[in-house]
Amino acid sequence: PENLAYVIYTSGSTGKPKGVLISHRGLMNSICWYQDAFEITPLDKTTQLARIAFDAAVLELWPCLTAGASLVLVKPEIMQSPPDLRDWLIAQEITVSFLPTPLVEKILSLEWDENIALRIILTGGDKLHHYPSVSMPFKLINNYGPTENSVVTTSGLVPDYEEGNPPSPSIGKPVYNTKIYILDQNLQPLPIGVPGELHISSLGLARGYLNRLELTQEKFISNPFNSGILYKTGDLVRYLPEGNIEFLGRIDNQVKLRGLRIELGEIEAVLETHSEVEKAVVILREDTSENQRLVAYIVRKSPSLGIGEL
């Protein structure tokens, strides 16, 4: 179970991506949780949308194939149009599908037939801002988890929209064999409602980073509350009164854009390799929750140098 199952690379602050080492134990923990939570059987038809380098592909592929269910590939052009994707999901009689958060938020605004095969849409990779309407014929499941914990750490059913809902849906509660701690900078537990850094103890934790011992020791620390290891996510969260967890953002220089973890320092480091760039700063500009973009500011070595020359 401790043998290496796969390596997936995530963004790194120095411009060098980090290879995350996931064991067979972590992979199997995720597979068993997924199959049990969503009752996957050989009668199901699921989708594969995520790129193979994105860890969501792990949970699209393996829980389906090991249960004997059918896996249907989606053509890229269909994914470009939410109405076409909706029609395709219905025509293919898909029962369970994972869609990245930005795409789900567009899907939720569409009209749906009542009698369709689709029973569950899972989402994750970014902060979810919208709730499904009462008329939606499927359940919407919001998932959260860093690559370092075998894809999913917490999961929860998103309730139908109604007055009085929190501004954004929660990220649910921990999955199988996973415990979370919301801690302050001194690794002390925080009460309900107080923001802190999310730390993870789980069978799904990675073995560390490929050939990055110092970074592994920095992020995977001894658990002060129990035996084992805690992973420091760098994510800012808080407990809600009912026990669910609210995702608030990052506490470092990392952002999420269209479901992808992006280390702003990585982009800055690449920009600063240009011979005419003295300094670079990159930010995530968010005009609305659905209109986000990366913007770079640079200090030129030569004031006369035009942007078009870079």
Domain locations in the chain as residue ranges: 4-271
Report the percentage of the chain scoring pLDDT > 90.
Answer: 68
Show Cβ contacts of residue 64 under 8 Å, excluding neighbours closer than 6 positions: 40, 44, 46, 70, 71
Distance CA 219, CA 232 (A): 5
Q: CA–CA distance from 190 to each of 163, 229, 245, 254 (Å)?
A: 29, 19, 13, 23
* Residue 139 burial (10 A CB sphere; 0-12, 13-18, 19+): middle
What pLDDT is recorded for position 14? 60
Contacts of 301 (CB under 8 A, 6+ apart): 275, 276, 277, 278
| pLDDT at position 128 over 80 | yes
Model confidence, pTM: 0.83
pLDDT above 70: residue 12? no
How many other C-beta atoms lie within 10 A of the C-beta of residue 81? Answer: 12
Is the pLDDT at 6 greater than 90, yes or no? yes
Residue 150 pLDDT greater than 70, yes or no: yes
CA distance 185 to 196: 8
Residue with the bigger pLDDT between 275 and 69: it is: 69
Q: In what order do the strands lie in the sheet with 70-73?
A: 70-73, 45-48, 96-100, 120-124, 139-144, 154-157, 173-174
The one-letter amino acid at 226: N
Of 19 and 268, more confident = 19
Gap between the Cα atoms of 230 and 3, Å rounded: 20
In this model, does residue 269 exceed pLDDT 80? no
Domain 4-271 belongs to what topology?
Rossmann fold (3.40.50)
pLDDT band, very low/low/confident/very high, at 302 (cuts 50, 70, 90): confident
Which of 58, 64, 4, 76 lies closest to 39, judged by CA? 64
Residue 98 to residue 89: CA distance in whole angstroms: 11
Separation of alpha carbons 255 and 264, rounded Å: 7
